[in-house]
Amino acid sequence: MAHDLTGGLTGTDLEGFHTGGDTECWRRLGAHELVLFDDERGEIHGTRFAVWAPNATQVRLNADFNWWTGDDMHLIPGSGVWALFVEGVGTGALYKYNVLGADGVWHEKVDPVGFFAEQAPNNASIVYSSTYQWSDQDWLSRRATAQPHAEAMSIYELHLGSWRKGKSYRELADEIVEYVTWQGFTHVEFMPVTEHPFEPSWGYQVTNYFAPQSRLGHPDEFRHLVDRLHQAGIGVILDWVPGHFPKDDWALGRFDGTALYEHADPRQGEHKDWGTYIFNYGRNEVKSFLVSNALYWVTEYHIDALRVDAVASMLYLDYSRNEGEWVPNIYGGRENLEAIDFLRYVNSHLYERVPGVVMIAEESTSFDGVTKPVHAGGLGFGFKWNMGWMNDSLRYLAEEPIHRQYHHDLMTFAMVYAYSENFILPISHDEVVHGKGSMINKVPQDSWRQFATLRSFYSFMWGFPGKKLIFAGCEFGQRSEFNEAVALEWWVSDLWGHRGLQLLFKDLNRIYRENPALWQLDSEPAGFRWINADDRGANTFSWLRSDEAGNQVAVISNFSSEPWTSYRIGLPAAGAWEEILNSDAELYDGTGTFGNLGQITATAVPWNGQPASATLVVPPLGTVYLRHRG
């Protein structure tokens, strides 16, 4: 029957794709195992292949089941989509599309909506139907009623391919769950798992947007990894890259001999710095493709949050361009209005469709309203990485302790704009690559001071408003830069300094989770109050964190090499304040000699604008947390 040639796919099925309203285009495009019914033969099992190539004059299906000789596909009238149903073909079949483009040249392409792909250097798409049975219903039910802004979020960012080099998704499911549970992080964030042939791109140059990388296993094995994390109570964030795509001639670029997914004008369609193409966000089919892709990972793989990479490069037409190398918008401005509309669309749609999902922006400028709701004129993200805080903090840490007094404001300035967005404080992979040095090697002086400074800084960070993110290896002070070609230097985590830092993170995460004052009001002024923001002479900062019930934690951080043995701070209440963290504890490879014997006692002596005060010991290059006991 004629419709069987296209597996029952019609132009009506594709109308939403062409209007930009098909947010599940993977159900129509790509390779799908189907059972068709024939009046004479009954059930016919096979696979329908469908690909959008509107400017092609001919498309053939090249596959292992036809000895790569090519079977002609059929153009569905008025759709620009070519389809073919092939009887007897199922999971595991290899295929590509051979596209005779508008330029008169044959282009062999992989499936833009392929669900699985060969390992590089091979690149054929693979027919794949999931048979995975999920066991994370309890997690999804809890997630649906979650309030992310008012909950604890400490994120462990990692690169799956090198966290423990050579491990598969299945092996990582055991090892990551065990380690992250022991360390106490609430979430993991995976650098992009979408298929990418060039390993040093870390996944940020994607060739197969719907396929998890095959180096580590099959798609259902990645589902197993996510499932295991959820069963352990750990959320999963995935890096998503809608900002650009690489120019590999077998992938999305010039797909049908024309600029199909990308802008034709290189002033709008290419990132010179990265050697990549930029999506044409104003094209309806591209919007359908990208919004569908975001929803696909969230629904088909149960991902809890998408961290959108390089948002600034999407927002600005002149991003990394000189005068005359970009095209202004219709109002003469530099904002990419089509990209802004697209981001609002994808954020709105995912929040509407998937209860509890979170969208996170890696956005490095002061663009207004990144985390404001779309209906209030914002972009609609849930969180934004605080790149300003990160840059300022790392500049401060790099200073010799004696010079930090002249750069004190670097550590306090973030509170000036703290409530302009909902922030995540990131110490990500970007800070420990390309000659920037590891975190420990950013800090001056000897090993003792380096480790002490890091312990103090991470304690400062965990006590500061905003959700937390660190990159794998930072938690045990790896000295080498991140290198995707080798595993993390796990062996050093048994050594002095490294082990102490790792144990500090374990306790930091426990204390953080146990004290809502450290996270419940992150995005509200009521959750934070400086005790003393101006003690630059002592390189010391102190503040209060509060929760909705009025419980309070005081944080005191000393970034000088001197101990302060009688340091007076104002406190909101008299009575006992328990020392719940001291980064100089012997357990963490500190001195163990500059503590407060478990608690201090505040008396009704006003200080720092507070009704009570106390003196305490603040260790050199150390941070102390105090919790009011009454």
- For residue 169, pLDDT over 90 is answered with yes
Domain that holds residue 98: 2-126
Calculate what percentage of the chain has a pLDDT beyond 70.
Answer: 99
Q: Helix, strand, or coil here: 174?
A: helix
Residue 150 inside a domain? The answer is no
CATH, residue 96: 2.60.40.10
CATH, residue 576: 2.60.40.1180
The residue from 221, 309, 507, 589 that is catalytic is: 309
Checking 399-403 for CB contacts under 8 A at 24+ apart, the result is 399/444, 400/444, 400/445, 401/444, 401/445, 401/449, 401/539, 401/559, 401/560, 401/561, 401/621, 402/560, 402/561
309 is catalytic: yes
- For residue 4, pLDDT over 80 is answered with no
- Confidence band for 3, pLDDT divided at 50, 70 and 90: very low
pLDDT digits (tens, 9 = 90+) for 298-319: 999 999 999 999 999 999 999 9
Residue 89 inside a domain? The answer is yes
Which ranges in 376-484 belong to alpha helices (H)? 387-397, 439-442, 447-463
Averaged pLDDT for residues 268-277: 89
Residue 64 inside a domain? The answer is yes
Q: Cα–Cα distance between 573 and 314 in angstroms, integer?
A: 49
**Residue 203 to residues 113, 208, 259, 414, 591, Cα–Cα distance (Å):** 17, 10, 23, 31, 42
Residue 53 inside a domain? The answer is yes
Beta strand pairing status for 622-628 and 42-52? Answer: unpaired
Residue 12 inside a domain? The answer is yes
362 is catalytic: yes
Predicted TM-score (pTM) of the model is 0.96
Sign of CA dihedral 573, 576, 582, 584: positive
What one-character DSSP code corresponds to residue 425? E
Residue 63 inside a domain? The answer is yes
Main-chain phi, psi angles of 552, to 5 degrees: -135, 145
pLDDT digits (tens, 9 = 90+) for 326-378: 999 999 999 999 999 999 999 999 999 999 999 999 999 989 999 999 999 99
Provide the pLDDT for residue 180: 98
Averaged pLDDT for residues 202-214: 93
Q: Cα–Cα distance between 590 and 582 in angstroms, integer?
A: 9
- Confidence band for 630, pLDDT divided at 50, 70 and 90: low
- Name which of 307, 296, 293 is nearest 240 in CA terms: 307
Averaged pLDDT for residues 605-612: 96
Length of the chain: 630
Provide the pLDDT for residue 2: 39
Main-chain phi, psi angles of 344, to 5 degrees: -65, -40
Residue 134: count of CB within 10 angstroms of its CB: 15
Residue where a domain stops, chosen among 126, 151, 175: 126
Residue 477 inside a domain? The answer is no
- Confidence band for 273, pLDDT divided at 50, 70 and 90: confident
Residue where a domain stops, chosen among 103, 126, 149: 126
Look at the chain and report how many structural domains it folds into.
2
Mean pLDDT of the chain: 95
Residue 188 inside a domain? The answer is no
Can you state the percent helix, strand and coil of the chain, rounding each to 5? 30, 25, 45
pLDDT digits (tens, 9 = 90+) for 408-453: 999 999 999 999 999 999 999 999 988 889 999 999 999 999 999 9
Q: What is the dihedral of CA 500, 576, 511, 471, to 10 degrees?
A: -60
The residue from 362, 475, 507, 584 that is catalytic is: 362
Provide the pLDDT for residue 196: 92
- For residue 1, pLDDT over 50 is answered with no
Helix or strand run (H / E) with residue 143: helix 137-144
Residue where a domain stops, chosen among 69, 102, 126: 126
**Residue 96 to residues 99, 124, 249, 260, Cα–Cα distance (Å):** 9, 6, 13, 18
